[in-house]
Structure 1
Amino acid sequence: MGQALTVSYVRVVGVERITPRTARVTFTGEALAGLMEDRPDQQMKLCFPREGQGVPRLPEPEADDTYGMRWYEAYLAIPEPERPLLRSFTVRAYDRGRDVMTVDFVLHGDDGPAARWGRDARPGDVLGMVGPSSLYARPLPAADWLLLAGDESALPAIATLLESLPAGARALVRAEVADATEERPLGSAGDVDVHWVHRDRGGSLVDAVRTAPLPAGTGAAWLAGEAGAVRTLRRHLVEERGLPRAAVQFSGYWRRSLTQDDAPTEEDLAWAKEQAEE
C-alpha cells in the first residue's frame, strides 16, 4: 500500500521579490510538518482560487486513494467557474523549526494564473496544496559527475539538488534566464561549475548544453524546463554524448504556447509514456 494522497491548505506569511521576475513566497500550514521530507526536488501542486473565492474549493481525499484518481475525478466534477486552477511547483525550502515552506514563483510574461497570483500575493492569502508525495521521488543516478540543466522554472529544483550534494561531488549547471538580473546564488558543498545563459544576449539552454565540455568518467543528467528544449537535450545526451537512457532524468515543466489546462498533445502523451518506462 502506497502513501495516500494528501490535500491541505497553506497560508502566506511572507513575500519577497528576489529578482525582477521571481517572487519568493513563504507559507505555513497545519499539515506541513507531516508532509515535508528531508530530500531535494519535492514536487507538489498548488491550487489557486477562482475570482471571487477567498479559499479554493477542493474535494476531500479518500484514505485508500493512493494515486489520487478518485480525488481528481471529484475535482473535475466541480463546475469550471468554481474549480481551482492547479499548477505544479517545487518546494524551494522547508524550515522545520519555523514550520515554513518556501516556493519561488516565476513571473512569466504570459500572465498565467500562477504568475498573476505571485505578483499580487499578500500575507494571509490561502492556497490549496496537493502533495508532496514520496511516491514520485526519483533519486539521482549514481555517477562520477552530474549535469543539471534547466530554465527559470527549474532553478528551485536545481538549487535543492545542489544543496544535497556531498563535499567533493562534481556537478555542472547550465541555467537559462532572461538576463543577468535573474541570476541568483546556487550554494553547494560539491565542486560545481555554474554557467548562466542569457536570452537577451541570444543564448539558449540547448546551445549551452550542446557546447558544454563534459568530464571524463560516468555521467548522469537532470533536465527540466520547457518541454521541447528538454526533449531535444535528452536526445542529444543519449544519442550524441553516449549517456545511458537511464542516467538522464527529464521533466517538461511547461509547454510553449500551451498551459497545464490545455489537453495533452500526441507528443506529450508519447513523452509521458517514455518517462514511465524509464
Structure 2
Amino acid sequence: MTTRQIGGLAATVEVGRVETLTPLMRRITVTGAGLRAFADVHLPGDAVKVALTAQGRSAELDPDDRSAPLHERLAAAGLVTRVYTLRDLAGDTAFLDVLLHAQGPGAAWGVLARPGDRVTIAGPAYGHAADPGAGEFVLIADHAALPALAETARALPAGATAHAYVALSGPGEAQKVVSPARVRAHWITPADPGSVEERTRALLEAVRAAPWRVPGTRVWAAGETGLVKALRRYIRRDLGVPREHARFSGYWTRGKDLDAADLAAVPEELRAAYEAFGYTDNHVIEDIEPSVDLV
C-alpha cells in the first residue's frame, strides 16, 4: 500500500447538515471552495485536522496565515484539533463522521455542531492507495476507525475479496460497507461494548479466528493504539505477513476514567446531549497524532 503521511493544505469550511447515522455516530457535512484543493490530491482514507475549542465548539483560524506553524497558532488561541476521515469528498463538499464514544472535544463537537458554523481544517494526511494487483484484503478497525475503513473499502480493486472486522461501541451501530470488491463485514459487539478492554479482546479473538490466506494478503488496521499494537504483533510476528503488505495506524488512546467530580464539571448542555445519545464509555479520549506503521 502507498501511504501519504502529511499534507500542507488548510481551509475554512462551513457546517451544512448534521445528521445521526447510528445512535453513536454523527455525520457532519462541510462545504467550502477550499475543499477543492484537498480533492485534487486526495487519497482513499485521507483525514483532516479540525480546529475546535476545548469545549467542542467549531473554531476558525485564518487558513492563509503563515506567520507561525498551525500548531503554534492553535495553542496561542487556546484551541485543539481532532482528526477525522474525509468521506465522499467531491468538489467543495465532504462528510466528517464523528463517533460519540467518550468524553472530549471531538465527541462534544459531534453533539454541538450546528449548520452555519465555520471551522478550519488542515491536511490531508494518512491516506493510502491499495495495491491494484492484490486479490485478498483484511480490514480491521475499532468503531472510531470505521469511517476510514469504509473509505478504504470503497477504493479496493474490483474483483478482489476482503474481510472487514469492526468492533462496535454499542448495538445498532453497523453500517453498510460499499466497495467494488467482494467485502464480507464481520460486526463485533461484545457483551460490554462500553469497555475498551472488552472491545479489544473480542476483536482480537475474531481476527485470530479468521480464515487467513497469508501469501499475498494485504492488511489494513486502525484504531486504539494498544489494540493496533497487539494486532501488529499477531499479524507480522505470528502470521508472518510482510511489512510491505500491512499498514497499522493508531488513531487514539484511552485517557483517565472520569470520577464524579469530572462528570459534574461537564456543562449541562453537553451532559444532556451525552445522555440523549446513550454514552457508554466513562473515560476521556486522549487525542494523538495518528501514527502509521506503529512499532
Question: Shorter-normalised TM-score: what interval?
Answer: 0.7 to 0.9
Whether 2:145 is the aligned partner of 1:154: answer yes
Whether 2:148 is the aligned partner of 1:193: answer no
Alignment of 1:67-86 (within 5 A): 70-76=69-75, 78=76, 82-86=77-81
State how far apart, in whole Å, the 1-side matches of 2:154 and 2:246 are: 20
How has the CA–CA distance of structure 1 residues 12 and 205 changed in structure 2, closer, same or farther, with 3 Å as cutoff?
same
Residue segments in structure 1 that go unaligned for 5+ positions in a row: 64-68
In the other structure, the counterpart of 1:14 is: 17
Whether 2:163 is the aligned partner of 1:172: answer yes
Alignment of 1:49-198 (within 5 A): 49-50=53-54, 55-57=59-61, 60-62=64-66, 70-76=69-75, 78=76, 82-96=77-91, 99-108=92-101, 110-133=102-125, 136-141=126-131, 143-198=134-189
In the other structure, the counterpart of 2:235 is: 237
RMSD of the TM alignment (CA)? 2.9
Amino acid at match of 1:140: A
Q: Could you tell me the TM-score, scaled by structure 2's length? A: 0.76
Out of 246, 250, 253, the residue aligned to residue 251 of structure 2 is 253
Kindly indicate whether the alpha-carbon contact (under 8 Å) linking 1:90 and 1:157 is maintained by their aligned counterparts in 2.
Answer: yes
Residue segments in structure 2 that go unaligned for 5+ positions in a row: 1-5, 193-197, 257-284
Amino acid at match of 1:95: A
State how far apart, in whole Å, the 1-side matches of 2:117 and 2:37 are: 21
How has the CA–CA distance of structure 1 residues 4 and 169 changed in structure 2, closer, same or farther, with 3 Å as cutoff?
closer
State how far apart, in whole Å, the 1-side matches of 2:146 and 2:191 are: 18
The number of equivalent residue pairs is: 253
In the other structure, the counterpart of 1:214 is: 212
State how far apart, in whole Å, the 2-side matches of 1:52 and 1:190 are: 37
Amino acid at match of 2:113: A
How has the CA–CA distance of structure 1 residues 151 and 166 changed in structure 2, closer, same or farther, with 3 Å as cutoff?
same
Amino acid at match of 1:30: A
How has the CA–CA distance of structure 1 residues 211 and 75 changed in structure 2, closer, same or farther, with 3 Å as cutoff?
same
How has the CA–CA distance of structure 1 residues 113 and 50 changed in structure 2, closer, same or farther, with 3 Å as cutoff?
closer
How has the CA–CA distance of structure 1 residues 209 and 33 changed in structure 2, closer, same or farther, with 3 Å as cutoff?
same
Structure ranking higher in strand proportion? 2
Kindly indicate whether the alpha-carbon contact (under 8 Å) linking 2:146 and 2:166 is maintained by their aligned counterparts in 1.
Answer: yes
Percent identical pairs in the alignment equals 32
Q: Report which stretch shifted further, 155-164 or 14-23.
A: 155-164
Q: Report which stretch shifted further, 29-38 or 217-226.
A: 29-38
How has the CA–CA distance of structure 1 residues 124 and 51 changed in structure 2, closer, same or farther, with 3 Å as cutoff?
same
Amino acid at match of 2:253: R
State how far apart, in whole Å, the 1-side matches of 2:58 and 2:255 are: 29
Question: C-alpha displacement at 1:256, in angstroms?
Answer: 1.7
In the other structure, the counterpart of 2:293 is: 275
State how far apart, in whole Å, the 2-side matches of 1:276 and 1:61 are: 33
Amino acid at match of 1:200: A
3-state DSSP of counterpart to 1:238: helix
Amino acid at match of 1:138: H
Amino acid at match of 2:43: R
Q: Report which stretch shifted further, 214-223 or 53-62.
A: 53-62
Whether 2:55 is the aligned partner of 1:46: answer no
